[in-house]
Amino acid sequence: MRVHTRIIDIDDRSPQESAVEEVSAILKAGGVVAVPTETVYGLAADALNPAAVRRIFEAKGRPADNPLIVHIASEAMLPSLVKSIPVGAVRLARRFWPGPLTMVLEKSSVIPDETSAGLPTVGIRMPSHPVVRSIILQSSLALAAPSANRSGAPSTTTAEHCIEDLDGRVDAIVRSGPSSVGVESTVISLAQTPPRLLRPGAVTLEMLREELGEVAVDEAVTGPIDSVSRASAPGMKYRHYAPKARVQLVRGDVEAFTWYVNAHAAPGAAALCFIGEDKGLRLPAVLLGKGPEDAAHSLFAALRDFDRKGVQTVYVHCPDTVGMGLAVYNRLQRAAAFDVVDV
């Protein structure tokens, strides 16, 4: 018989102390708990406890070569986790922390190999979501937390999606409101010169360049790489964020998109596009909102919804890659296993 995971309700804006204490106690005892953050829900455990961290990998079915991000809630927590704090990291922290930015730095010896997946570096983030912040502060633990989904599936942006993926596999799931950003944090490595963008997110490449000047863009941001050949961003797998449906990205203007998609209209097919782009479509369309911020917010829920409805093929109108569009494009490419057609 399946044992259901404990669900703990915590208010987004003013987290109840007793509930936060309950979650802290589970984490201090080496447990794993799904928690809300402003990017996506995370599956958290004590980042310095190798046995606890191994349980994250087991619950997700995550390959052990994929490093975890370590979450902190105050500047005071940073120095013991890393070897040095370059000046660029200070600049970025001052502007973007707390927020959706992860900095990869040389790790100190307190970070177990389980957390960093054997790399000499560690990704650190200070999230802004009041619930995860209070859990970190209450427990005084740095929390390792990847996205709270089964490995390979779209990240979870609601507690319901966490329950769908992780019920019976983790010690508790915190139920708060939906994540505001909707895609995972921006990841930038400051362990190399020039700094390198490893994963695009709500802190955009343009914003990073404003603070740092030159920022290199890893090939993984816009193209396929596999986890074995490239150790610097092992998370950037071939197929990732993928629903069961086949996803194809269609690149071109709205007319060309409409023409192409209508030519492929068939039972079980659907379209995913921005408001206004669905006018001439002769098949069901799900709308991503007006711009890239809306799209980021609703993307993963939309992908999960297609599976719930039994959709077999999804044609997606390729977004611009300016600003946060780059993050949306990056996630869509992976959901599509790099099946992109130019029309």
Minimum distance of Mg ion from residue 284's CB (angstroms): 28
Tell whether the torsion through CA atoms of 50, 52, 58 and 61 is positive or negative: negative
Among 24, 116, 128, 186, binds ligand AMP (CB under 6 A): 116
Which span (61-69, 77-85, 157-165, 322-330) binds ligand AMP, by CB under 6 A?
61-69
Minimum distance of Mg ion from residue 203's CB (angstroms): 17
Minimum distance of ligand AMP from residue 208's CB (angstroms): 15
Which span (50-58, 140-148, 296-304, 318-326) binds Mg ion, by CB under 5 A?
140-148
Which span (72-80, 200-208, 231-239, 254-262) binds ligand AMP, by CB under 6 A?
231-239
Using CB under 6 A as the binding rule, whether residue 154 contacts ligand AMP is answered as: no
The residue written with tokens 């917010």 in the block is 297
Closest CA to 102 of 221, 211, 45, 185: 185
Which span (27-35, 81-89, 227-235, 274-282) binds ligand AMP, by CB under 6 A?
227-235
Among 49, 121, 128, 186, binds ligand AMP (CB under 6 A): 121
What strands, in cross-sheet order, belong to the sheet with 269-273?
Answer: 285-287, 269-273, 313-317, 246-251, 340-342
Half-sphere exposure of 79 (CA within 13 A, CB side): 2
Using CB under 5 A as the binding rule, whether residue 138 contacts Mg ion is answered as: no
Is residue 171 within 8 A of residue 3, CB to CB? The reply is no
Give the E-state strand segments of the chain in sequence order: 6-9, 33-35, 42-46, 69-71, 101-106, 121-125, 143-144, 172-175, 186-189, 196-199, 216-217, 246-251, 269-273, 285-287, 313-317, 340-342
Among 27, 56, 89, 122, binds ligand AMP (CB under 6 A): 122
Q: Of ligand AMP, Mg ion, none, which one does residue 15 interact with (CB within 5 to 8 Å by kind)? A: none
Give the residues lining the site for ligand AMP (CB under 6 A). 66-67, 69, 104, 116, 119, 121-123, 146-147, 184, 187, 198-199, 232-233, 235-236
